[in-house]
Structure 1
Amino acid sequence: MTGAEPYRIVILGGGTAGWMSAAALAGLLPAADYDITLIESDEIGTVGVGEATLPHIKTFNDMLGIDEAEFMRETAGTIKLGIEFVDWLREGARYIHPFGTFGDRWGGVDFQHHWAQARLDASDDRSLQAYSFAVAACHANGFEHPNTDPGSIRSTYSYAYHFDAGLYARYLRGWATARGVRRLEGKVTGVVRDSESGAVSALTLEAGAQVAGDLFVDCSGFRSLLVGQTMQVPWIDWSEWLPCDRALAVPCLGVEPITPYTRSTARRGGWQWRIPLQHRIGNGYVFSSRFCGEEEARNTLLANLDGEALDEPRLLRFAAGRRAQGWAGNCVAIGLASGFLEPLESTSIFLIQAAAIDLVALMPRRGEGIDARAVREFNRLFGIHYDRTRDFLVLHYTANERVGEPLWDHVRTMVLPDSLAHRLALFRESAAAPEYSLGLFSRDSWLSVLEGQGVLPSAANPLAHRMPAAERQARLDDLAARIVLNAAEMTPHGEFLTGYCASKATARPGAASAA
């Protein structure tokens, strides 16, 4: 609307969630139409989620026009091609969830059906892992940017990053403030609401000043000051399916080679993460207080580091779940204020990114009020992102053979969400793995964890029978051979980092973050 005042957006809280939200709003909305203010206090610590990410973060950075080499250099970033799971099925078992495809469609049939049919015919006993270029690249500790030729085997993968979460928030803070975001230092001590509508009209700072706004983005962390406390949006508890409620985090000195993947190792009371950065390794132990004490977790974590610990382990307490809605009134929760899922698949930053991008797409225009339809659509997408991510995480736990360990016995025998039970039964009975257009994880991601956790199909799509067995086997052999050959020729990951984005960051105490 011509002549209307700019729409005022106030972000409560900094850290990864606050500054990602600020960067998205400042970088993607018309600058003249929106006035963006972020309130944070250097006295209030942040959880520091997001040292490991998913490929969607590259899309986010590219949308904003962020220079990749500069960003990696400033955040001590490394490449992430997937996640290695060690001992999750049983002790001694391991597999990689790669950021790439398993083969492609042959004769109009998804690849896993041809793989399943070959196994059922006893003509091929190779794991799905043999048919992923990203898996082979992880084993080779190699990285090159994907080939732009869609016919090349080197185009069949994507990548994410490991980075220092504190350095990433600092980098985005500089990026966003340079593009007009106003940062206010201070603690919020009060929330002013309109007496008639109940909408938030301003936030009161400790010094007495009030910051007025039209829409408020709640990045206040677990406090959820606006959406949880002020708007009273209920919490949906998922601890029955995801019982881990504690994490100890500690950095340690790095070792060579710098691996291009995250590692998750199952332990008696939970699991341990390992995230290699240029200047250190991030480590942590996620565990359930019902099945593991804090001292046991601390001892287990410190006994399984690759290098000298750089600090005392830092304890985080949490509960798995989400708010019933992410947008209530004129308040939108992003990050921990909206929900929490343990960092098993590095989903924290994706959920921040998804909410921020959805908010941009549904943002009220200058001179207009909030459209109830936009709120409903945001909350619909919010629920899909969280619910489908929850199912994927629960899959890792429920399909295990770690018999005799209380935590693992519990999660193996618990009643599953109906949506997950359906997907498991569908794959076991027919090798089908539906691809949803919304939600986080692709069919190939599900396939890697299903097979890695020992869930195997008893039948394949009947259309797979149309391909003669000899032709199918020849294609499988050719694909596996091309993957091995090309992976062996890749540039070593460490060499890539040195030539592309060497960081000046040095290992230091006090840098632990959640995966």
Structure 2
Amino acid sequence: MQQSVRKLVIAGGGTAGWMAAALLKKVLQAQVDIELIESKDIGTIGVGEATIPPIQTFNQFLGLDEKAFLRETNGTIKLAIAFENWRKQGESYFHTFGAPGATLGFCGFQHYWLRAKKAGLEASLWDFDLNYLSCKAGKFNKIQTENPVYSMGYAYHFDSTLYGQFLRRLAEQAGVKRTEGTIEHVALDNESGFVKALQLTDGRQIDGDFFIDCTGMRALLLQKALGVEYEDWSHWLAADSALAVPSKPHTQTAPYTRSIAREVGWQWRIPLTHRNGNGLVYSSAYMDDEKATNMLMGNLDTDALDEPRKIRFKTGRAQKQWHKNVVGIGLSSGFLEPLESTSIHLIQSGIVRLLKMFPNGAVNPSMEALYNTESKDEFETIRDFIILHYYLNERDDSDFWQDMQRLSLPVRLEQKINAFRDTATIFNEQNDIFRDASWVQVMMGQGIMPNDYHPSADVHSDQAILDIMSKIYEAKQQPLAQMLSHDDFLARFTQIQ
């Protein structure tokens, strides 16, 4: 029988490894010894990263000073993602971290907006979204109010390599031991099949009771040593390649990520204070690497600072992300293209989920099963959200986009689309990280205009609903005059006193 977990070994560093080390040590403290093995000779995927708002919770729990964090990682504020050319070439919409409108009654704001459109309203749904209005104005400021009308959810863009280094310093100060070395062999216990040690190329052996696999797509422990199979989702998400390249920063820093649909796949633009992160996600079945490279480099809006770096991947997930005494965190647990900036969030949620179920005694199969069920649900709902963008396109300029229109959808996603198209209603699953407002913005941005709305929206007369909309619209406009430009906010906020 396996003993209690008193020694935890993290295989691999990078963003995933050091996020895991920092949070686990913060929570478990002296109850568990933590050792992280990484090699300076093994690179990480790390590029300019865009995140979603829960990263604030992670940083706050670690006690990170937001000002220092932004300085140390060359970070900027992210209010939204701008999707360009996704429905049709020349069209665009925003998926913001805000919620359009206000709470008006039993149903979501989109129902009241649809009722107002019937009464003659011309304003778009996004005209009632403070995040969207701030993006268009290039502004940001923290609004000190509890009034939800003025709520502005935000996340960050930052250099993920610098973030990992920032967390490494924090973790080592807290007592995490870092070991420099390359893993050559994973030793298994003959009786239980559990991992008992990691053997390094220089002959050292690192023993442990529990292991976290942060070895990226190599998945040395979870998949290679323990034989966990990989569930391939490329029949839904055809992209299998990416190119990444940094470029010079803009004169003005936008407070949002840009996702620009190209002939095959899409291009990202992530603004940092010292550079822009750029990349192209594409399918090698529809476009070769040379053409992809020319497409990316020909569509940079500032000068490149390096040569593009190629990344190969297979979209999907490990069928068990916790198996025996190993949990995969980060790319070892699966890969979803970063269309909705979920990569770091999946690291964060995997660590938090593990901590909630962390064994005090021996590893418990019931916790392993529960972890895997929740993780599966989370991965699948994010997968469906990404498929949604591809499927709801109306482009006719390439085989790629037309093939995306003919995808055979996961049942749950098909039901969600039909429900929204018919009644403007969103039904969410328990482990869905995206709120109703996110699904509404993408579905409408991609061209779905619901056929009906909830009957409670008909309580108001035409004039009454238009008056309500006018008041909300005016309220959303009010904070803009007091906001700073995004660059001015960053300069003042991060200034060392």
Distance in 2 between residues matched to 1:419 and 1:471, nearest whole Å = 37
CA deviation string 1:192-240 (max 9, x = no partner): 1111110001110111111111110000000111111111111111111
| 2:306 match: secondary structure | coil
Whether 1:344 and 2:339 are equivalent positions in the alignment is yes
1:481 positional shift: 2.2
1:478 positional shift: 1.5
Whether 1:402 and 2:400 are equivalent positions in the alignment is no
Contact 2:101 2:149 in 1 (8 A): no
Per mean C-alpha deviation after superposition, the further-off stretch among 467-476 and 376-385 is: 467-476
Equivalent residue, structure 2, for 1:508: none
| Match 2:100 to one of 99, 102, 114 | 102
**2:222 partner letter:** V
Equivalent residue, structure 1, for 2:133: 136
1:467 positional shift: 2.3
Contact 1:226 1:331 in 2 (8 A): yes
Distance in 1 between residues matched to 2:219 and 2:431, nearest whole Å = 26
Contact 2:5 2:362 in 1 (8 A): no
Distance in 2 between residues matched to 1:417 and 1:432, nearest whole Å = 19
**1:217 partner letter:** I
1:404 positional shift: 3.4
Distance in 2 between residues matched to 1:53 and 1:219, nearest whole Å = 19
Distance in 2 between residues matched to 1:254 and 1:502, nearest whole Å = 19
Equivalent residue, structure 1, for 2:419: 426
CA deviation string 1:104-145 (max 9, x = no partner): 3213222111112223x2522322111111110111111112
Whether 1:412 and 2:411 are equivalent positions in the alignment is no
Equivalent residue, structure 2, for 1:326: 321
Contact 1:436 1:442 in 2 (8 A): no
| Match 2:178 to one of 173, 183, 187 | 183
| 2:57 match: secondary structure | helix
CA deviation string 1:24-55 (max 9, x = no partner): 101122x1211000000000111115611111
Contact 2:47 2:277 in 1 (8 A): no
TM-score (norm 1): 0.94
Whether 1:470 and 2:463 are equivalent positions in the alignment is yes
**2:26 partner letter:** G
**2:53 partner letter:** P
| Match 1:198 to one of 193, 196, 206 | 193
Equivalent residue, structure 2, for 1:233: 228
| 2:237 match: secondary structure | coil
| Match 1:220 to one of 197, 209, 215 | 215
Would the alpha carbon gap of residues 268 and 502 (structure 1) be closer, same or farther in structure 2, given more than 3 Å must change?
farther
Distance in 2 between residues matched to 1:49 and 1:322, nearest whole Å = 21
Distance in 2 between residues matched to 1:434 and 1:116, nearest whole Å = 18
1:267-282 correspondence runs (5 A): 267-282=262-277
1:152 positional shift: 5.6
Distance in 1 between residues matched to 2:442 and 2:495, nearest whole Å = 33
| 1:411 match: secondary structure | helix
| 1:51 match: secondary structure | strand
Whether 1:162 and 2:162 are equivalent positions in the alignment is no
Distance in 1 between residues matched to 2:457 and 2:133, nearest whole Å = 26
| Match 2:472 to one of 479, 482, 499 | 479
The unaligned stretches of length 5 or more in structure 1 are 504-515
| Match 2:147 to one of 142, 146, 151 | 151
Whether 1:386 and 2:379 are equivalent positions in the alignment is yes
| Match 1:116 to one of 111, 114, 117 | 114
Whether 1:20 and 2:6 are equivalent positions in the alignment is no
Equivalent residue, structure 1, for 2:166: 171
**1:294 partner letter:** D
CA deviation string 1:402-435 (max 9, x = no partner): 1131111011111111111010000000000124
CA deviation string 1:148-207 (max 9, x = no partner): x222632x2211000011111111111111101100000010111111110001110111
Equivalent residue, structure 2, for 1:286: 281
Per mean C-alpha deviation after superposition, the further-off stretch among 341-350 and 460-469 is: 460-469
1:255 positional shift: 1.2
**2:260 partner letter:** T
- Matched residue count: 494
TM-score (norm 2): 0.97
1:475 positional shift: 1.1
1:483 positional shift: 1.6
Equivalent residue, structure 2, for 1:245: 240
The unaligned stretches of length 5 or more in structure 2 are none
Distance in 1 between residues matched to 2:207 and 2:298, nearest whole Å = 51
Distance in 2 between residues matched to 1:50 and 1:391, nearest whole Å = 24
Distance in 2 between residues matched to 1:222 and 1:472, nearest whole Å = 53
Contact 1:246 1:289 in 2 (8 A): yes
CA deviation string 1:361-399 (max 9, x = no partner): 11111xx10111111111111111100000000111100
| 2:484 match: secondary structure | coil
Equivalent residue, structure 2, for 1:89: 87
**2:127 partner letter:** A
1:338-377 correspondence runs (5 A): 338-365=333-360, 368-377=361-370
Distance in 2 between residues matched to 1:488 and 1:401, nearest whole Å = 38
1:287-302 correspondence runs (5 A): 287-302=282-297
Contact 1:50 1:349 in 2 (8 A): no
Equivalent residue, structure 2, for 1:507: none
1:330 positional shift: 0.4
Contact 2:135 2:254 in 1 (8 A): yes
Contact 2:321 2:328 in 1 (8 A): yes
CA deviation string 1:327-373 (max 9, x = no partner): 000000000000000010111000000000011111111xx101111
Distance in 1 between residues matched to 2:286 and 2:266, nearest whole Å = 12
Percent identical among aligned pairs is 43
Whether 1:501 and 2:497 are equivalent positions in the alignment is no
CA deviation string 1:457-512 (max 9, x = no partner): 00001121122222211111121222223224311110011112269xxxxxxxxx
**2:111 partner letter:** H
Equivalent residue, structure 2, for 1:42: 40
| 1:125 match: secondary structure | coil
Equivalent residue, structure 1, for 2:449: 456
Whether 1:127 and 2:120 are equivalent positions in the alignment is no
| 2:415 match: secondary structure | helix
Contact 1:50 1:348 in 2 (8 A): no
Distance in 1 between residues matched to 2:48 and 2:383, nearest whole Å = 17
Contact 1:275 1:282 in 2 (8 A): yes
- Pairwise CA RMSD of aligned residues? 1.4
**1:230 partner letter:** A
CA deviation string 1:297-340 (max 9, x = no partner): 11111111121100000000001100111100000000000000
1:48-63 correspondence runs (5 A): 48=46, 51-63=49-61
Would the alpha carbon gap of residues 5 and 294 (structure 1) be closer, same or farther in structure 2, given more than 3 Å must change?
closer
1:8 positional shift: 0.8
| 1:163 match: secondary structure | strand
Distance in 2 between residues matched to 1:300 and 1:502, nearest whole Å = 38
